[in-house]
Structure 1
Amino acid sequence: MELHDENPFKIRSYQSALISLERGDEDIMVLSEDELVKIQGVGKSIVEAIRQLKETDTFPLLEELLNKTPEGILEVLQIKGLGPKKVKTLWEELGITSTHELMEACQSGKVAKIKGFGEKTQTTIIQNLEFTASNSGKWLYADIAKMIGQLEETFTIMARGAELAVVGDFARQLEIITEAEFLIASEELATVKANLKAMESIEWILLESGPRTLRGKLKEIDLRVSIHFCSKEDFLWKKLSLSAAPLHLDSLVDGQESIAQKLQKKNYSSEAEFFSINGLQYIPTEMREGFGEIELAKENKIPELLTDKDLKGILHNHSTYSDGKHSLRQMAEYCRDLGYEYLGISDHSKTAFYAGGLEVEKILKQHQEIDELNKEMAPFRIFKGIESDILSDGKLDYENNVLASFDFIVSSVHSILNMDINRATSRLITAIENPYTTILGHPTGRLLLRRQGYPIDHKAIIDACAANNVVIEINANPWRLDLDWRWVRYAMDQGVKLSINPDAHEMDGYADMKYGVLVGRKGGLTKEMTLNAMSVDEIANYFGSRLEKVKAKI
């Protein structure tokens, strides 16, 4: 509607209805028209659109707009930094109707000459186009897990009696997956291959396939599939080989032979035995990345890794006080019903006005509700937190007397993301040195496959957290997974605790905790170094004693 200059009041009515509908708890597809009309912002035109959606999966206005919009424009609208107005200008002035045409126009300098764009905008567009192109065919682990599970079930049925394993990057639980890889061991490989080739859901690429590997691509989504074949006798060593990163396989075990060479000897009957006979502590699959795990295994220093069951509470969550979908009570009761001992609520601070950031009056109201709920729900406890914006100069939102009213503070960057490494690092360290900062939230601000994080000096940031007793968040949202697992071990070595936080904006968001645990495990995270593995009493004492020390200093 914005792209085609529809009536601004009409656009606003759709936006208002969308906000109300998204915040509601009910499925709009099962609500009656009488129930829909009672929702704030939902008028007759919106109800009619929903009625049409129920019947046809679309509605007239949408079809009308799509019919007069070149298909490529929809792709251009997905490019970060290009809103409808800019896309409309590019379309009208340069005739751009695809990302390919947009890249050509940028590279020839035409975009920079348009009023309201300039060289800087043109360069940013090129970078975002390149970022989008480089991520083609890539999927978040969380988004592709169900699909790979379904493929595994299908292949198991089609290869009855065979041994089957998921291998490759997915087996190691990498955050981004580019290929679904499987290993099948059977003494009747010809029959198995024939069955697989008959699958209509996969477009097999025979030119890239061979006697021992069948390669293809799912027709439904842009995901490559590779199936490796072997005899049952070779299944174990093939599985170990295909489930490890090249750097892990190339790592020397005894100064002479690598993991890959040891595997080919086939003098073992289980994964555990393979590591044992080679003088290595067992290395969990997710850690087989060639990231120093061999050295740890030689010295028996691979710790007992964190598990989902170790987590006692959930910190960094949002409610309807800011931009959450569910009320404080709903978030708390659901957290308790999941078996957790406590909830840390941390709605947005006032600078995040776009997310309903809390003014002081709203903070007081929330704190009063928390006190009442804590009396009612004991021994379950809600801790008073805030996600305080780290301002451009590194300072936190609110004056010290307001910051002192919280049990804990998650300090995060949400604005002015186009920083170089020096500015970003300096800004974060200033926030870390603020005595009220308890947890550093999503340190790089990245959104996997959507937005690159701002560059930071990870060692300097972690060292600053160590010096100031600040915890670092592993944001468990599948789009973030930030702190990256590659820095977990360094943080632990410096004595910095980590906190698995879902950044949940609704009750279903708690389910993301498992992805944070996966990230922690890949980095070697232990229960002892995880903040929210503390019991409710332990973390209450932790927050309390920390705050007392801060108040004594200020």
Structure 2
Amino acid sequence: MENKPIARKLRLLSQLMELHEENPFKIKSLANAAFKVDKLPFPAAGKTFAELEKVDGIGKSTAGKIIELLEKGTITEMEDLLAKTPEGVVEMMGIKGIGPKKVAIIWKDLGIENIGELYYACNENRLVEAKGFGLKTQEDIRNVIEFNMASHGKFLYAKVEQEAKDFLEQLKGIFPDGLIEFAGEFRRYCEIIDKLIVVLGCRDQEIAFTTLVQSEVMREVEPDKNHVKGKLANGLKVEVVCVEKRYFYKKLFEQTGDDEHVKDVLSKTVEPIDQPESEDLIYRKSGLEYVQPELREGTTFIERAETNKLPQLVNHADLKGTLHNHSTWSDGINTVEEMALYCRDELKLEYLGMCDHSKSAFYAKGLTIERVLQQQEEIDHLNKKLDGFHIFKGIESDILYDGSLDYPDEILKKFDFIVASVHSILKMDEEKATSRLIKAIENPYTTILGHPTGRLLLSRNGYPINYKKVIDACAANNVVIEINANPLRLDLDWRWHQYALEKGVWLSINPDAHRKEGFLDMYYGILVARKGGLYKERCLNALSLQEIGKFFSQKTSVVRG
């Protein structure tokens, strides 16, 4: 073993000791020894204990640890500390800008156990509440995590959307007479993007190809037949497919849908389609209704396209209100009134559903019973004050380990609606996680199941659940399922939207906003809802104020008898 890996092990041990608040003198001594080993002019391996002990800055204790590491491949003391430390917490110590002391606060005070949860907390502005953290530290941590995500070649749609659109505008500037359009994952509104594909149709394919290669719109340019590959400044892979204009729409069709979709559509054509004037013509010649790009995953919607029964996809104008939002009462940035005025005056919505965190979410200033009553009194006052707008009294009630909600019935019945969500103890097997959710769904006070799997895209897998059983339970108990519009979540996964709709379950596009700007995430919720085939007639917050008031009243009247 070379000196650098030995030094890294010693440094990790010192960090773990600091994380667990062990003897400060020993921590400092070990950290200094790690630095010393890294700079030794000779290999530590092969030296005896007596020789290492005499090296300035190492000493007897560290020499013993080095010998143990070289002989056994590990250090017992380090293994003991690792056994007491969640794996995600160890990973957090590798983030530039935060040492063990800050990681300890993040872990023990905020209850965050991995990088995905930490990134989400940064986006919720939660770190600024912790001792020793400020806005700059929070932003630095977020930037480092985003950089690490990018280094793995995968990007959230929301994080690359603007760069992608800027790139398209640059291409249009270079080829003003060309036909240029996104294809692939980006055009299908996939939640995670591996590669940006653009189809470029020009009068002279070869000249376009050469011009593109010589331009500076991409980095690491690599010509490949009629494809030009490269990267954007943010590291996203790009592929521009150059074709003659007459083949543009056929190539756009082929490059947009996934392989299964494209193959199935083309198999239905009676005669070859060589130079179609539009994508619509390709579908018509295949005996199909035009399929929107976001639905071109597999064959799910092709049978409906054969009978002209494709859904009229929900759009932003259909939304009349926003549910599941947080204010300064818990971990939000804006007051209830500020959130309401923004929704009414800027977004032109009819209602707002406030759902601050419940009492179990101590890390997010969850509401005690006393504070619940105080907030509801404020909302009553605001509803008398605000013309043409209504604030519904909600709560995001934590689903506890056994599936129960964290308020007694006499408090739960005071809310207009309740979003039930899991935030803690995510490590369960599928059977336990499923039964936990189903018990919460069967609670008569549960109105909406919030972010059903708790996933954080590119950061944390959702807890394993039996989707069919959970959705069936929602159908049986008249519980709405949330499409959490935060681009880090987008949960319920669009792949299960159709099953839910077929079972008669309502879906709700909820921004989970923690500040006014958070409402804008409904845009991403709309994209993923469309991808799942949602239509406004089954979208809860597409109901008018009068309609959703009736919806909530019917639910609560059943409970209250």
TM-score by length of 2: 0.76
Q: CA contact under 8 A between 1:465 and 1:471: conserved in structure 2?
A: yes
From 81, 87, 108, the equivalent of 1:116 is: 81
- The change in CA–CA distance for 1:291 and 1:111 in structure 2 (over 3 A counts) is farther
1:263-316 Cα deviation digits (max 9, x unpaired): 962364222222122211221110001141112212322111101001100000
Percent of residue pairs identical: 45
- What is the deviation of 1:364? 1.1
SS in 1 for 2:235: coil
Whether 2:329 is the aligned partner of 1:313: answer: no
What CA distance in whole angstroms lies between the structure 2 residues aligned with 1:374 and 1:129?
A: 40
1:236 matched to 2:170? The reply is no
Separation in structure 2 between the aligned mates of residue 86 and residue 221 of structure 1, nearest angstrom: 37
Q: How does 1:37-48 map to 2 (within 5 A)?
A: none
In structure 2, relative to structure 1, the CA distance for the partners of 1:198 and 1:135 (3 Å cut) is closer
8 A Cα contact 2:332 2:515, kept in partner: yes
SS in 2 for 1:116: helix
Match of 1:416 in 2: 425
Please tell me the root mean square deviation across aligned C-alpha atoms, in Å: 3.4
For residues 312 and 165 of structure 1, the distance between their equivalents in structure 2, rounded to whole angstroms, comes to 31
Q: Letter of the aligned partner of 1:173 in structure 2?
A: Y
Alpha-carbon distance, 1:203 to partner: 2.3
* d(CA) in 1 for partners of 2:230, 2:407: 55
Residue 456 of structure 2: aligned partner: 447
Amino acid at match of 2:420: S
Q: Alignment partner of 1:386: what SS?
A: strand
Alignment of 1:277 with 2:285, yes or no, is yes
Query: What residue is the counterpart of 2:262 in the other structure?
Result: 249
Query: Once the 2 structures are TM-superposed, how far is the Cα of residue 91 of structure 1 from its aligned partner?
Result: 7.2
User: Residue 275 and residue 350 in structure 1: after superposition, are their counterparts in 2 closer, same or farther (change >3 A)?
Assistant: same
Q: Are the aligned partners of 1:335 and 1:343 in contact in 2 as well (CA < 8 Å)?
A: yes
Matched with 2:201 is: 185
Secondary structure of the structure 2 residue equivalent to 1:489:
helix
Q: Which residue of 1 aligns with 2:550?
A: 541
Q: Is the 8 A contact 1:158 1:192 kept in 2?
A: no
Check whether the contact 1:112–1:121 (CA below 8 A) recurs between aligned residues.
Answer: no
1:139 to 131, 155, 159: 155
Q: Deviations over 1:310-334 (max 9, x none)?
A: 1100000000000000001000000
- Trace 1:268-347 onto structure 2 (pairs within 5 A): 268-337=276-345, 338-347=347-356
- Amino acid paired to 1:324: G
| Distance apart, 1:345 and its partner CA | 0.3
Secondary structure of 1:229 counterpart: strand
1:509 pairs with 2:512: no
Unaligned runs of 5+ in 1: 1-69, 98-103
Would the aligned equivalents of 2:270 and 2:285 in 1 still touch at CA under 8 Å? no
How big is each residue's C-alpha offset from its partner over 1:371-430, in whole Å with a ceiling of 9 and x where there is no partner? 111111133100000000000111001100000000000000000111111111111011
2:231 is paired with a residue of what secondary structure?
strand
Aligned length: 462
Q: Write the distance in 1 (CA, Å) between the matches of 2:553 and 2:185.
A: 42
One of 493, 515, 531 as aligned partner of 2:540: 531
**For 1:214, which of 228, 251, 255 is the aligned residue?**
228
Alpha carbons of structure 1 residues 386 and 285: separation in structure 2 relative to 1, 3 Å: same
Quote how far apart the aligned CAs of 1:113 are.
Answer: 4.8
Instruction: Point out the more displaced range, 147-156 or 265-274.
Output: 265-274
Structure 2 residue ranges without an equivalent (≥5): 22-26, 39-68, 92-112, 117-144
| Offset, 1:199 | 3.7
C-alpha deviation, 1:192, in angstroms = 2.9
Match of 1:375 among 384, 390, 404: 384
Give the equivalent residue in structure 2 for 1:62.
none
Report if the CA contact (8 A) 2:149-2:155 is conserved.
no
User: 2:298 is paired with a residue of what secondary structure?
Assistant: coil
Q: TM-score, normalised by structure 1?
A: 0.77
- Which has the greater radius of gyration? 2
Task: Report the CA distance shift for 1:455/1:156 in structure 2 as closer, same or farther (over 3 A).
Answer: same
Output one character per residue of 1:456-481: Cα deviation in whole Å (capped at 9) or x when no partner: 11101000000100000000000000
2:339 counterpart SS class: helix
C-alpha displacement of 1:152: 0.3
Deviations, residues 222-267 of structure 1 (Å, cap 9, x unaligned): 211111010011001000111111121232x5xxx626x7796236
Query: Does the alignment pair 1:464 with 2:473?
Result: yes
Give, in angstroms, the shift of residue 118 of structure 1.
2.2
Q: Partner of 2:508: helix, strand, or coil?
A: strand
In the alignment, the residues of structure 1 paired with residue 76 and residue 201 of structure 2 have an alpha-carbon distance, to the nearest angstrom, of 55
CA contact 1:471–1:499 (8 Å) conserved in 2: yes
Letter matched to residue 166 of structure 2: Q
Q: CA deviation at 1:123?
A: 9.8
- Deviation per residue, 1:487-523 (Å, 9 max, x gap): 0000000000000000000000010001111111111
Residue 85 in structure 1 maps to residue 19 in structure 2 = yes
